[in-house]
Amino acid sequence: MAQTLIAIILTYNEAQHITACIESLRWMDSIVVFDSVSSDETVRLAQAAGATVLQHPFENYSKQRQLALESVTSEWVFFVDADERSSPEQATEIRRKIENPEIHAYGVPRHNYICGKLTKGAGWFPDYQVRLLRRSKVHYDLSREVHELVIVDGQSSVLETPLTHYNYQTWNQFFRKQERYTDYEARELLAQGVRVKPQNYVLQPLRAFYRRFITLDGYLDGFHGLRLSAIMAYYELQKYLRLNRLWQASR
């Protein structure tokens, strides 16, 4: 007996992407758009494309995914972001993989396009995201606001076929998201009781640059990889500067 499989697309003001995303998922048994009360045309376009739309105000990413998971009854759920695209090749692989009764979650690789350029180095490939889930065997760690963590009761594996991810169209968009991530990571370090040491301001950015540009093959993307590695090293420095300010404010 074939397993039931639902795609869930989390959205907030994704009118630019939602129709193309839904079109790429026509092979699913059904498609649910779990919307964070968008103010643009996302809901109308999703309904026009044939998706079921559910809405819940956004609290954080982990809670939103857990609520979406609990809102459906299918055996399998495939989480896809609105700026991601599936493919017929991925459909074939997923239909085959979910017949395995021993695996309850799959990491999905992504081809990330940053400012229009496919980026395979500096940590952006394979960029596995745990998105294909046997609903009855998983839940999200609700203590994490971003970078969601799936808790799996059993074995996990990975897919070979990537999602295509149009995640940053402009550098300003990229910077805005890194600002939010950096603030969150500084708060997490504070909560863990981590204190800043003077060498952190030098060694951590250097390690971040080396890891992305050399270890994770950022150099293979040429100047694009160099720029990304340098930007991420800068935000590593910012993380410790902001952590120090948080400690000072907490005194």
Cis peptide before 109 (omega within 30 of 0): no
Query: Domains of the chain (ranges plus CATH)?
Result: 5-168 (3.90.550.10), 171-250 (no CATH)
Distance of CA 190 to the CA centre of its chain: 24
Give me the pLDDT at residue 146, please: 76
- Give the tens place of pLDDT for each residue, 187-236: 999 999 999 999 999 999 999 999 999 999 999 999 999 999 999 999 99
Cα–Cα distance measured from residue 251 to residue 249, given in angstroms and rounded to the nearest whole number: 6
| Residue that the structure tokens 């493919």 belong to | 87
Looking at residue 144, its pLDDT comes to: 82
pLDDT-based confidence at 81, cuts 50/70/90?
very high
d(CA 209, CA 196): 19
Strand 5-11 relative to strand 30-35, pairing: parallel
pLDDT number for residue 2: 57
The pLDDT, as a whole number, for residue 3 is 66
- Single pTM value for the model: 0.89
